Amino acid sequence: MIKRGFTLIELLLYTVVIGIILTAVSALLFGILQSRVKNQTIAEVEQQGIQVMQIVTQTLRNATAINSPSAGASVAMLSVNTPVGASNPTVFDLSSGVIRITEGAEAAVGLNNSLVTASGLTFQNLTTSGTPGTIRVTFTLTRVNPSGRNEYDYAQTFYGSASLR
């Protein structure tokens, strides 16, 4: 008569092998999840930075005059006049981690969302005599990271410039 079944040693061996496989798969999935979150964090900061830079430089290109900063100066607020009189002056500034635009008498509007914090906003007037106004824009965006997790830790500094047409 043949008895069918597993011995205790075979059962323990199968359990250990399955445990090792499940641990390896779990570690792999956790690594993939962390990588995905880090990539989303980087993409969020870069998209916000590109969007803000495009709005500032496009406004500068369409402006008719630079009110502030004066030639050779570097400040944290940009004021320009645009062809649309109701939008004058158009002002860019930084308040509580948000880069804002104010057009004429309208209320200030934030250009970056609450997932990133802006800092180091600087406008440098590079204009030389006999040329249209040229402004260099610099700012840093940092991903908000309330949990302190490494995958949400990311900051990038953006540089750009634009000249009046």
Task: Specify whether the CB–CB gap between 141 and 118 falls below 8 A.
Answer: yes
What rounded mean pLDDT belongs to the chain? 93
Give the pLDDT confidence of 29-44 residue by residue, as tens digits.
999 998 999 999 999 9
Q: Who wins on pLDDT, 128 or 91? A: 91
Q: Is the pLDDT of residue 1 over 70?
A: no
pLDDT band at 131 (very low <50, low <70, confident <90, very high): confident
Long-range contacts of 44-51 (CB under 8 A, 24+ apart): 44/115, 44/116, 44/143, 45/116, 45/141, 45/142, 45/143, 45/154, 45/155, 45/156, 46/156, 48/112, 48/113, 48/115, 48/116, 48/141, 49/139, 49/141, 49/156, 49/158, 50/158, 51/111, 51/112
Q: Among 2-11, 22-31, 70-79, where is mean pLDDT lowest?
A: 2-11
pLDDT band at 138 (very low <50, low <70, confident <90, very high): very high
pLDDT band at 94 (very low <50, low <70, confident <90, very high): very high
In the DSSP assignment, the letter for residue 57 is H
Q: Who wins on pLDDT, 84 or 102? A: 102
Q: Is 107 helix (H, G, I), strand (E, B) or coil?
A: coil
pTM of the model as a whole: 0.82
Q: Is the pLDDT of residue 6 over 80?
A: no
At 7 the pLDDT is 86
What phi, psi does 92 have (nearest 5°)?
-110, 135
Give Cα 154 to chain centroid, integer Å: 9
At 149 the pLDDT is 87
